[in-house]
Amino acid sequence: MADPMHQFEVTKIVDLPDFSLPGVGVIDMSITNSTVAMFLAAGLIVAFFALSTAKAAVVPGRLQLLGEGIFGYIDNLTTSIIGHEGRKFFPFIFTLFLFILAMNILGMFLVFTATSQLAVTATLAVMTILLVLVIGVMRNGANMYKLFVPAGVPWYMLILVTPIEIISFVLRPVTLALRLFGNMLGGHVALKVFAGFVVSLGALAAGGGVGLLGIPAAALSLGGVVALTALEFLVAFLQAFVFAVLACVYLNDVVNLGHHH
Amino acid sequence: MEAEAAKFIGAGLATLGMIGAGIGVGTIFSGFLQGATRNPSAAGGQFTNLILGAALTEALGILAFVLGLLILFS
């Protein structure tokens, strides 16, 4: 059976010289299949929106309707979660959503999924949580501590509640990165394992005799591959959506600190 | 016991953590369906909350999955 983890291997496509950054160390600037997948994703997004808005009309065509639909959907999301100040964060959330969605969907068509690399998802998660921290300190200053001390909780409960709040805040970027990474990795491993069953059971059936029982089992796993592929397309959208929603929720915590709406 | 065998048993045991995530996600969707069938007009507005709850619950199952991978490949 083919190795199900082989598809996640990062290989160099164009070898570029190392780049040394003072204080950080040596960085390999080579173009790998991971960076190519990300370039493609970013290029596709730009091309899609350039095409959909090329002949913008008052009565939109099919492509323009799709572009405006995605735009309006995320715009709605930010304003409904963060409130009227959500517009400020819309560009960030929209970019995040489209980039993750493009990488996930491309992973279904190409051999490589950029979001199944922990380095990629961790970068996105750290970027989000750094933005949350910077916005929180900029807007609230020293009042930022209220994030960990919920209003209206008696002081003797705070001894218990504050550590829990701090732990849950620290775990946010971790779960944000692991959720996307785990979902994409798990889904693609399951696809490969079921596809491997088809081949190995087929080889068993080719031997004849009792091995012929492998034919219905191979057909069953082929059906499993088809069903899983459909599920993976759903997951690809859902995980991008979830990442955007969670980024909104975390931003809302610091933007509307202290006054719930 | 061989170390390699213990590794595989450990990775298998780590996946048991997904039982809890499965029950949790099932509870969320059952709660949503119960509410949605009683008041279908309010169901659409709760879609974001539904997905959010499912994602937060699922994260714990993913943690078990990642733990299993860590045991297998480290």
Of B52, B62, B66, the CB nearest to A245: B52
Per-residue pLDDT reduced to its tens digit, A60-74: 888 899 999 999 999
Q: Does ipTM come in above 0.85?
A: no
Provide the pLDDT for residue A2. 63
| CA geometry: angle A137, A140, A142, nearest 5 deg | 75
pLDDT at residue B54 greater than cutoff 70 = yes
Q: Mean pLDDT in chain A?
A: 89
- Residue A95, pLDDT above cutoff 80: yes
* Contact between chains at B66 and A182 (C-beta distance less than 8 A): yes
Residues of A with CB under 8 A from a CB of B: 77, 80-81, 175, 178-179, 181-183, 185-186, 238, 241-242, 245-246, 249
CA distances from A24 to A21, A27, A198, B34 (A): 6, 8, 47, 54
**Contact residues, chain B, for A182 at CB < 8 Å:** 62-63, 65-66
The arithmetic mean of pLDDT across residues B20-40, rounded, is: 94
pLDDT bracket for residue A135 (50, 70, 90): very high
Least Cα distance to A153 among A164, A162, A145 occurs for A162
Distances (CA, A) of A66 to A40, A58, A90, B46, B59: 20, 14, 18, 23, 31
What does the pLDDT read at residue A205?
A: 85
E strand or H helix at A27: strand A25-27
Residue B29 contacts A where some CB pair is shorter than 8 Å: no
The CA distance from A245 to the nearest CA of chain B, in Å, is 7
Cross-strand bridge partners of residue A25: A21
At A260 the pLDDT is 59
- Residue A209's pLDDT is what? 79
> Please, which pLDDT band fits residue B72 given cuts at 50, 70 and 90?
confident
**Chain B interface, mutation test: which of A179, A238, A239, most B Cβ atoms within 10 Å?**
A179
Q: Nearest Cβ partner of B51 from A175, A178, A241? A: A241
Q: Which residues of B touch A80 (CB under 8 A)?
A: 48
Q: Provide the percentage of residues in chain A whose pLDDT is more than 90.
A: 52
pLDDT of A261 > 70? The answer is no
For range B40-56, the mean pLDDT? 88
User: How close B36 gets to chain A, by Cα (Å)?
Assistant: 20
Q: Is the model's pLDDT at B51 over the cut of 70? A: yes
Nearest CA in chain A to B60: A175
B73: tokens are: 């490949």
pLDDT tens for A214-256 read 888 889 999 999 999 999 999 999 999 999 999 999 999 888 8
> Averaged over A13-19, what is the pLDDT?
81
The answer to whether residue A1 scores a pLDDT higher than 70 is no
